[in-house]
């Protein structure tokens, strides 16, 4: 009887040990996978940050795979494991920029909830473009493969545009078109100012006139 009881208990103990060993192994594997993912994300963020830093100081023509490799002490093959080409790096920077401008516009829109939201968003947009000229350039002026106004448009772009759309959503029958025209006007002023076609001395007057136009159309 005793031998029969022992033969029953020992396998159960053995199976329990196997179960906990399996759980521990799985948990360890998950931690390793999570650490690798964090490391990969950190390297990717470092590459993007370096690209932005070089561009702000020297322009986008200086942002090359070779230069980035020297800047952050990663071999070129390592960089290519994160980005297949220079264009992919620029796309990633542009998407980061759209995420940032979306947050800036959202903050400006909510801050002016009881005031002139169009004026607040317009001022925030122009400030973003003026304070980050290289970033703004890669978002709009370089030939990138990031799709606009398409089913494949990334969420960062959709979020940024939604902040403009919110300004006219309830006041007009076709808010998308009015939002696009407002965006086009802001971008035109920002770009012509950045390239020194518009003197900065009349910037306040331009924005005031633009706000009056788009406020009166609502």
Answer for the pair 55, 138: CB distance below 8 angstroms, yes or no.
Answer: yes
CA distance 184 to 148: 13
Within 10 Å of residue 173's Cβ, how many Cβ atoms? 6
Residues 2 and 8: their CA atoms lie apart, in Å, by 10
DSSP string, 8-51: HHHHHHHHHHHHHHHHHHHHHHHHHHHHHHHHHHHHHHHHHHHH
**pLDDT tens-place string over residues 102-122:** 999 999 999 886 678 999 999
Q: Using an 8 Å Cβ cutoff, are 132 and 53 in contact?
A: no
Over residues 117-168, the pLDDT tens digits come to 999 999 999 999 999 999 999 998 777 777 777 788 899 999 999 999 999 9
pLDDT in tens, 9-68: 556 666 666 666 677 676 656 666 576 667 778 889 999 999 999 999 999 999 999 999
Q: Residue holding tokens 């122009």? A: 126
Residue corresponding to tokens 């490799």: 69
Residue 196 phi/psi, 5° resolution? 65, 25
CA atoms within 13 A on the CB side of 150: 7
pLDDT interval class at 213 (50, 70, 90): very high
CA dist., res. 19 & res. 41, Å (int): 33
Q: 217: helix, coil or strand?
A: coil
pLDDT at 145: 76
Q: What percent of the chain has pLDDT over 90?
A: 59
User: What count of residues does the chain have?
Assistant: 218
Look at residue 96 and tell me whether its pLDDT is greater than 90: yes
Average pLDDT, whole number, for the chain? Answer: 85
Bin 147: left if φ > 0, else alpha if -120 < ψ < 50, else beta.
beta
Q: Which residue carries 């329990």 as its tokens?
A: 16
| Count of alpha carbons within 13 angstroms of residue 165, beta-carbon side | 10
């Amino acid at each position: 009887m005793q031998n029969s009881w022992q033969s029953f208990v020992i396998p159960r103990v053995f199976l329990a040990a196997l179960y906990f060993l399996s759980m521990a192994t799985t948990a360890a594997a998950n931690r390793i996978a999570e650490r690798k993912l964090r490391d990969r994300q950190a390297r990717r963020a470092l590459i993007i940050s370096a690209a932005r830093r070089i561009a702000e100081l020297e322009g986008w023509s200086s942002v090359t795979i070779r230069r980035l490799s020297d800047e952050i002490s990663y071999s070129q093959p390592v960089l290519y494991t994160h980005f297949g080409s220079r264009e992919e790096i620029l796309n990633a920077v542009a998407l980061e920029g759209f995420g940032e401008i979306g947050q800036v516009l959202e903050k400006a829109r909510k801050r002016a909830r009881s005031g002139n939201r169009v004026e607040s968003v317009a001022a925030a947009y122009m400030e973003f473009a003026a304070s980050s000229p290289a970033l703004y350039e890669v978002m709009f002026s370089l030939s990138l493969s990031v799709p606009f106004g398409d089913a494949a448009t990334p969420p960062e772009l959709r979020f940024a545009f939604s902040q403009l759309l919110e300004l006219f959503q309830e006041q007009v029958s076709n808010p998308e078109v009015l939002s696009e025209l407002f965006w086009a006007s802001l971008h035109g002023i920002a770009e012509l100012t950045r390239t020194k076609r518009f003197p900065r001395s009349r910037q306040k007057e331009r924005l005031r006139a633009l706000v009056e136009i788009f406020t009166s159309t609502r």
